[in-house]
Amino acid sequence: MDDLGHALASGEADLKMLGGGQPARIPEMNGVWRQRLEELAEQAGGIERALTTYDPPRGNPRFIEAIANLFRDTFGWDLGPEHIAITPGGQSAFFFLFNLLAGRMEHGGRRKILLPLVPEYIGYSDQGIDGCLFHAIPPLIEKTGPHAFKYRVDFDHLEVTPEIAAICASRPTNPTGNVLTDAEIARLSALAKSHDIPLIIDNAYGAPFPGIIFEPATPFWEPHVILTYSLSKLGLPGTRTGIVIGPPEIIRALGSMSAIVGLANPSTGQQILLPLVESGEILRLSREVVQPFYQAKCRLARQAAMEVFGDEVEWFMHCSEGALFLWFWFPGLPITSMELYHRLKQRGVLVVPGQYFFFGHDDPDWKHRDECIRVSYAMDEAVVRDGLRIIAAVVCKVLKQGARQQG
């Protein structure tokens, strides 16, 4: 993260910044944000509400009511304001949730969060105040084409033991773009419900907003399910606004934690988005602007990858069903993903080493975890194409050298 942050701040012209989760700047969405800021400036008290007023710890009541109405009217969910809390970004939401539910318990013992599928979002990994909070299940790996594969949940080995406090999955998954099917979500929900624990679904890229999802995926909620959303991938990462939908007792606890940690949540994002939520415009923008924009970028990036890697070495790319990333697997890679990261960095390309996404499953003999990298395609097309070309050149050279040494 330090490398990525300095890279963004430096603005080096030749750097191919393909490693972070920075969303793209979508012109039409930027126009919406400018219009909303102008409207706030023209409304009596608009700027004051956005900048000079503390909201309650759970968030702005009108914004919370609007979120409840949106989901109730669109999906028929039996939601009220008591089911919703605002947090200072999705990352903070998970810090609160994971440490609320898992870790060292008041009356002794430790509980963990079960990840039914790894690789999983790197931002979860170090959230525990009291050490690692996760137990992860390795995936089934299905090769779906000459250079394509997909991870699937290994339900045969997915066991909820007494130490498990909750099940958690992102949909679509960061880093791979994998989308858990409706059937998989229903099965995870039933498993959680049968053990009287929550199922947490991270919708940072998902449905119904921001909608960076390219496969059919029905939004899902039941009383034992906790959903998280964010304004970041809509195009407002700087507002640090997260949304949590869940059981009222969890929501009350999140409000208390927000009050203790930060007194109140940032108001600007809530005020910018409020009329778009009340009118349902947020759903149209997600469906007609955000989703097509990223799907087109994904298609171009995948095509570029196929062109630059070719067929000289064995390589695979995960099915891209959503999010902002390409996930590459290089079977037999003779160096670690961290060493590959450093070699690419020397060539002016920043990616994220795959090893960081496999936390919660510590098997030193599972080489797959060190044969992968995550590449963002949210940057300009020329930057992504040039970056992929350099990645392919470095990887193919390393794989060929490794093959010669083994021969």
Domain with CATH 3.90.1150.10 in the chain: 2-29+285-397
CATH 3.40.640.10 domain extents, the chain: 36-282
Mean pLDDT computed over 200-205? 98
Alpha carbon of residue 208 to chain centroid: 14
User: Between these two residues, 23 and 402, which has the higher pLDDT value?
Assistant: 23
pTM of the model: 0.94
8 Å CB contact between 160 and 114: yes
pLDDT of res. 363: 82
Of the pLDDT bands very low, low, confident and very high (cuts 50, 70, 90), residue 343 is very high
Q: DSSP readout, 3-56?
A: HHHHHHHHT-TT-EE-SS-PPP--HHHHHHHHHHHHHHHHSTTHHHHHHS-PPP
Distance (Å, rounded) from C-alpha 224 to C-alpha 160? 16
From the candidate CATH numbers 3.40.30.10, 3.40.50.300, 3.40.640.10, 3.40.1710.10, the one assigned to the domain spanning 36-282: 3.40.640.10
**Dihedral over alpha carbons 115, 120, 122, 126 (to 10 degrees):** 10
At residue 126, the 3 state secondary structure works out as coil
At residue 4 the predicted structure's pLDDT band, cuts being 50, 70 and 90, is low
Just give the CATH number of 2-29+285-397.
3.90.1150.10
- pLDDT by residue (tens digit) across 92-126? 999 999 999 999 888 778 999 999 999 999 999 99
**Span 290-310, pLDDT tens digits:** 999 999 999 999 999 999 999
Tell me: the pLDDT tens digits for 176-200? 999 999 999 999 999 999 999 999 9
**Is the model more confident about 2 or about 366?**
366
